Amino acid sequence: MTVKAYLVEDSPVIRENLVGFLADVADAEVVASASTEDEAVTWLHMHRNDWDLTIVDLFLKRGNGLGVIHACRNRAPHQKVVVLSNYATADMRQRSEQLGADAFFDKSAELDQLVAYCDLVRSSHG
């Protein structure tokens, strides 16, 4: 089973690179993406069952990823939300988890862990 991923990332270059990376390395298909909090929250409310994994950057063009995480709190048990950010401080990790993130990955150092997490999502849902 291919993991259906929703990507919330404001940098077009990073977003494009992640789409290819996730498809090639993690067997995850990015079904949609957003660059702002409002755009992400709207899509998530309109497509409640269309994703397995939401990947959220914390700092966006408008709004922030914490609001996106909060918007996912009433998701199905198999749906997971992870943060992928350059701001991987202990405080940000804790705050993200308190709002409902299932995992937090440092964008510059933990992409292998993100791939492993995609495998975990696939095996628990497939």
How sure is the predictor about 124, in pLDDT bands with cuts at 50, 70 and 90? confident
Report the C-alpha gap between 98 and 35 in whole angstroms: 23
Separate counts of helices (H) and strands (E) for the chain: 5, 5
Give the total number of structural domains in the chain.
1
Q: Which domain holds residue 117?
A: 3-125
How sure is the predictor about 125, in pLDDT bands with cuts at 50, 70 and 90? confident
Task: Record the tokens describing residue 76, joined without a space.
Answer: 């199905």
What mean pLDDT do residues 98-113 have?
96
CATH of the domain at 116: 3.40.50.2300
Give residue for tokens 């939300």.
Answer: 81
101 pLDDT above the threshold of 80? yes
CB 126 within 8 A of CB 53: no
3 pLDDT above the threshold of 70? yes
126 pLDDT above the threshold of 90? no
CB proximity list for 77: less than 8 A, separation 6 or greater: none
CB 24 within 8 A of CB 17: no
% of the chain residues with pLDDT over 90: 95
Q: pLDDT tens, 36-81?
A: 999 999 999 999 999 999 999 999 999 999 999 999 999 999 999 9
Report the C-alpha gap between 29 and 94 in whole angstroms: 28
Q: Record the pTM.
A: 0.96
